[in-house]
Amino acid sequence: MGNESNAAAQRGTTPSFRNSNRWDTRQLVVMGLLCAIGVLLSFVEFPIFPAAPWLKYDASFVAYMVAGFAYGPGAGLAVGITAIVIHGLMDGNLWGAAMNVLVLVGFLWPAAVIYMRKRTLGRAVVGLLVGCVCALAMAIVGNIVVTPIYSGMPREAVIDLILPVLLPFNAMKAGLNTVLTLAVYKSISLLIKPQRR
């Protein structure tokens, strides 16, 4: 990149690349708004898997994914991790927050990276499906490692719950997040995504 800048300076032209990691004021405002929406949605929980009514779904990941699709994986993770930490501090469950961060990284990072390379519906769907698989893996690993620490449940008991409970619940959760992300982002993308130059 430095060679490109030097060559462009010698020709009297500007380099052809832009630093996409720089967030302007408008983008920061939108990211802050999405973070606030994510925190609010994280407290609207309801059961989606009758076999395990204590496991509840909230749509907060949709706000984080919108940020990731609009501004890139770094922005999405910044919004999501901030909101997750705020939620964890408010309800006193930092172990749960750690689990959510693991799943968020698995879901958002690959989806946003794949989508940012070519902003099409097909790439969004592929990215989200890859994100679903990675999120499921992170959720299972997180449950095996973290759940016994804060719940007092033996690790063997957690492992026994993977196939009948944890895997189907997290698959349903990932599926809902995928469908809602596609619907919401398509509806508001023109309002929040960066202007193309």
Residue 5 lies in a domain: no
Report the CATH number that the domain containing residue 106 is assigned in CATH.
1.10.1760.20
| Residue 109 forms part of a structural domain | yes
CB 58, CB 44: distance < 8 Å? yes
* Average pLDDT, rounded, for the chain: 87
pLDDT band for position 152 (50/70/90)? confident
Place of tokens 């994280």: 42
Q: What is the mean pLDDT of residues 169-194?
A: 89
Does residue 4 sit within a domain?
Answer: no
Q: Is residue 157 part of a domain?
A: yes
Q: Tell me the pTM.
A: 0.82
Please indicate, yes or no, if residue 73 is contained in any of the structural domains. yes
Residue 65 lies in a domain: yes
* Domains identified in the chain, total number: 1
- Specify if 134 maps to a domain: yes
150 or 190, which is more confident?
Answer: 150
pLDDT of residue 193: 65
The per-residue pLDDT for 19 is 41
DSSP 50-117: TT-TTSEE--HHHHHHHHHHHH-HHHHHHHHHHHHHHHHHHHT-HHHHHHHHHHHHHHHHHHHHHHHH
For 1-6, which contacts have Cβ atoms below 8 Å and span 24 or more sequence positions? none
Taking alpha carbons only, the member of 122, 141, 142 closest to residue 130 is: 122
pLDDT band (50, 70, 90) for residue 188: confident
pLDDT in tens, 165-179: 999 999 999 999 999
Question: Mean pLDDT throughout 141-147?
Answer: 92
- For residue 18, the model assigns a pLDDT of 43
Domain membership flag for residue 2: no
CA–CA separation, 132 vs 75, rounded Å?
19
Quickly tell me which residue has 């958002």 as its tokens. 108
Q: Does an H or E element contain 124, and which? A: helix 121-145
- Give the sign of the dihedral formed by CA 48, CA 53, CA 57, CA 58: positive
Q: Structural domain of residue 172, as residue ranges?
A: 23-192
